[in-house]
Amino acid sequence: MFYFSSNRRSFLKFSLAGALSLFSIKPALAKKMSLDQSLQEGRLFLYNVHTHEKLSVTYRNQAGEYNPAALKDLNWILRCHYSNETIDMDRDVIEYLNSIDKQFGGNNELHIISGFRSRKYNGILSQEGHHVAKHSLHTVGKAIDFFIPHVALKSLRTAALGLRCGGVGYYPQTGFVHIDSGNFRTW
């Protein structure tokens, strides 16, 4: 006889993951499950390099419940620094960032170069010759550019690639790694 010591939600996730793997289906839910950190709190320590603001926040508890006030704080620190516009950042990109942080011990000061980027600011960057995508995932709150001061950029890139949770851009000349919650791809 087979016994489960987990709760119903864990059983359902396990069952769904098994069924999906049998059929080689990889929908967004499978990606979300690969980012699931329900055994640990979702906690981040961020520093915005443009606004010089810091935020230490627990945005998700161990049961997987999100804290709306903490998510609002994350949206603010990840806002477009040019216009001060905010957007509801995609939870998958937040979880992706958290998963990378945890690979380096967790509670690292993550230096944010860019989170949400307004379409106007994205256009300005493009006109100035910066290589930004016209339909950048930054403009819909699904991308973050960051670095950790005491972690080699190559190591951050390797950690992000290992998770295979979305796009990974490597910018060693400007000193950051890009992650997004789109399809897995690299550049």
The per-residue pLDDT for 123 is 86
CA distance 136 to 44: 24
pLDDT tens sequence across 96-115: 999 999 999 999 999 999 99
Parse the chain into domains and list their residue ranges.
1-36, 39-186
CA distance 184 to 96: 12
On the question of pLDDT at 15 being above 60, the answer is no
Question: Which CATH fold would you assign to the domain 39-186?
Answer: Muramoyl-pentapeptide Carboxypeptidase; domain 2 (3.30.1380)
Question: In the numeric block, which tokens belong to residue 148?
Answer: 């950790």
DSSP-derived 3-state class of residue 170:
strand
Give mean pLDDT, residues 71-86: 97
C-alpha to C-alpha distances, 111 to 95, 108, 119, 170, nearest whole angstrom: 16, 9, 22, 15
CA distance 36 to 165: 11
